[in-house]
Amino acid sequence: MLALFYNGIVEGFIKPSARQIVVLVLTAKELMECTPSHEQIGRSKIWEIAQLGYSTQLDAS
């Protein structure tokens, strides 16, 4: 699955800035340590579409 995701970046189907939304960990504890809390997400808005390089406007074409 990760190889498919990374290949999507290499081939240009996925923007490189989206790389931050996928993490590889071995334990649930590691996942909890590297995942921002709801409070952090709400305050910093790190998951905004614009930060990932995508337009927030609908394409009329």
Residue 8, pLDDT score:
92
pTM over 0.75: no
Question: Do 3 and 22 form a contact (C-beta atoms < 8 A)?
Answer: no
Element (H, E) at 3: helix 2-10
Q: Which run of H or E residues covers position 11?
A: none
Q: DSSP for 21-35?
A: G----SSHHHHHHHS
Question: What pLDDT was estimated at residue 22?
Answer: 83
Average pLDDT of each block of 10 consecutive residues along the chain (61 residues)? 90 87 86 71 57 62 51
In this prediction, residue 7 carries a pLDDT of 93
Cβ pair 15, 54 in contact under 8 A? yes
Please give the pLDDT value at position 19: 82
CB 50 within 8 A of CB 44: no
Domain limits, the chain: 2-52
